Amino acid sequence: MSDNESETDEGVLEERRLMRDFVSQNFYIDYATLSSELENNKDYFVYAAEYGEYQHELMETIFNNITDTRIIKKCGRKINKLGGFTAMQGCFYCFCYALRLIGQRENINEETGIHTLRCIRTHLEIEWHEIGEWRRQ
């Protein structure tokens, strides 16, 4: 194993640890609050059409199990079955908005906290790769 591979492995393990720690210390935003926030935000309003209570439960399951590939993919396939790429995209953007609200709620502004939220978003994006039409660029 080269030094670069070792550093990459260590980086991945560190990101997984950060995500697990964050999820264990924070709870996902409740459906009523997120729905209200989405309805009042013109940039995200369009995605709210794809985000019902069932989808919220799936995204909360993903949040609570963010390092479990099997669960993330299973939830992604369920969302894809409900409405294909459009449903997945809507849920992804609502999830990202929920992460932003969690960051605000928990007053996360330090570099590590913001990095962790980005890791969570990116991890979901990667794990959903090739579910239906979902592709990570």
Confirm whether 137 is domain-assigned. Answer: no
List of residues 6+ apart from 28 with CB closer than 8 A: 59, 60, 63, 64, 98, 102
Domains contained in the chain, number: 1
pLDDT band for position 3 (cuts 50, 70, 90): very low
102 close to 88: Cβ distance less than 8 angstroms: no
Residue 5's pLDDT is what? Answer: 52
Residue 42's pLDDT is what? Answer: 84
61 close to 71: Cβ distance less than 8 angstroms: yes
Q: What angle do CA 85, 29, 72 make, to 5 degrees?
A: 40
Q: Which tens digits make up the pLDDT trace of 23-47?
A: 999 999 999 999 999 988 888 878 8
Residue percentage of the chain with pLDDT more than 70 = 94
Q: Which tens digits make up the pLDDT trace of 103-116?
A: 888 888 677 788 89
Nearest alpha carbon to residue 16 among 97, 100, 120, 110? 120
Write out the residue range of the structural domain in which residue 94 sits: 3-127
Indicate the average pLDDT of the chain: 90
Confirm whether 41 is domain-assigned. Answer: yes
Single-letter amino acid, residue 101: L
